[in-house]
Amino acid sequence: MMEHLIVPSPGARRSRKRLGRGDSAGQGSYAGRGIKGQKSRSGGSIMRGFEGGQLRMIKGLPMKRGFNNTFKTDYALVKLDTLDAFAAGTVITPDLLRERGLLRGRRNPVKILGDGQLTKSVTVAAHRFTRSAREKIAAAGGTIQEL
């Protein structure tokens, strides 16, 4: 079938409403603009964001200004105190932490923080480690696997 031979279904192409062509035409006298005021005048358009003279919303929201880095990676943070609950010799992975309910929400990369003490020798697999966390895991006789 050729494009120029396609017949549109009835009512698919409605002619536009012709405003201001007399009362019998349906949109006469004020042509749907109402009586008086800025919006009834020709060329009378209001700038975007104008709120009738009151203080614009964006000026009252200074916290909405600024820069948001869309490429920032948010890490799920885990402290060493949390890892101390696992038995010695355990291989702690992000999946195991999720399974135990220690990680919630979206599947963010995991970062191990050096808060607290680690007393058992465990193998910790995560995406990032702080310097103090590395030192404390090594001091407890554990090992680190970076994912």
CA–CA gap between residue 15 and residue 33 (Å, rounded): 20
Domain limits for position 94: 76-146
CATH number at residue 95: 3.100.10.10
* pLDDT score of 61 more than 80: no
* pLDDT score of 2 more than 90: no
* pLDDT score of 105 more than 90: no
Beta partners for residue 9, in sequence order: none
Cβ atoms within 10 Å, residue 88: 11
Q: In this structure, is residue 120 part of a structural domain?
A: yes
CA–CA gap between residue 91 and residue 102 (Å, rounded): 15
CB-CB contact of 46 with 38 (8 Å): yes
Q: In this structure, is residue 45 part of a structural domain?
A: no
Q: In this structure, is residue 102 part of a structural domain?
A: yes
Dump pLDDT digits (tens) for 76-98.
Answer: 999 999 898 899 999 999 999 99
Tally of domains within the chain: 1
CA–CA gap between residue 147 and residue 41 (Å, rounded): 66
80 residue type, one letter: L
Q: What is the pLDDT of residue 139?
A: 93
Q: What is the pLDDT of residue 64?
A: 67
Q: In this structure, is residue 25 part of a structural domain?
A: no
